[in-house]
């Protein structure tokens, strides 16, 4: 029934990467790599050497394997080996410009808070074994 059908496996286990026909590695919603395992070793030697260097990688818990993969990808995206990085591609701003000037009255609080700057950070999460695990 599933002969000649495409199967998608989402995993962090290296044994599956070695036998897959094609590998797609996503990081931060962008394609980090697409190809075969041997192409991965050739084009991204740091990635495979970082992961292959840990003999006990398969014995870690799924949460630990994911954190290792995430940290490896983060390090490699910072230490880019000269190849074009997805981080170099600037994402378009989705802020809509309005032709109409904003017609709100200034409140007392706006005057007091105008010098303060705030930043909001959203907690990201990963899917691990069908359960949502938060990273923090």
- The model's confidence at residue 36, banded by pLDDT at 50, 70 and 90, is confident
In-domain check, residue 85: no
pLDDT greater than 50 at residue 2? yes
What mean pLDDT is predicted for residues 70-86? 60
Q: How do residues 93-120 score in pLDDT, each as one tens digit?
A: 444 455 555 555 554 444 444 444 444 4
The pLDDT score that the predictor gives to residue 51 is 58
Residue 30 CA to residue 85 CA, distance in Å, equals 10
pTM of the full predicted structure? Answer: 0.36
Q: Which domain holds residue 46?
A: 14-79
Mean residue pLDDT of the chain comes to 63
Alpha-carbon distances, residue 66 vs 84, 94, 107, 114, 115 (angstroms): 25, 30, 48, 41, 40
Task: Examine residue 75 and state whether it is found in any structural domain, yes or no.
Answer: yes
Residue 103 belongs to some domain of the structure: no
Contact 41, 51 (CB under 8 A): no
User: Taking the CB of residue 27, how many other CB atoms lie within 10 A of it?
Assistant: 17
Q: Does residue 121 fall inside a structural domain?
A: no
Residue 66 has pLDDT above 70, yes or no: yes
65 domain-assigned: yes
Output the six-digit token pair for 66: 């994911």
């Amino acid at each position: 029934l599933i002969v000649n059908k495409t199967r998608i496996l989402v995993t962090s286990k290296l044994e599956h990467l070695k036998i897959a026909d094609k590998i797609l590695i996503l990081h931060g919603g962008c394609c980090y790599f697409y190809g075969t395992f041997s192409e991965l070793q050739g084009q991204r030697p740091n990635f495979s050497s970082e992961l292959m260097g840990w003999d006990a990688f398969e014995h870690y818990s799924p949460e630990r394997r994911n954190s290792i993969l995430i940290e490896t990808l983060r390090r490699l995206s910072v230490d880019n080996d000269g190849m074009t990085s997805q981080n170099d591609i600037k994402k378009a701003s989705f802020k809509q410009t309005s032709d109409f000037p904003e017609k709100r009255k200034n409140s007392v609080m706006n005057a007091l808070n105008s010098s303060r700057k705030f930043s909001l950070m959203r907690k990201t999460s990963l899917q691990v074994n069908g359960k949502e695990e938060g990273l923090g």
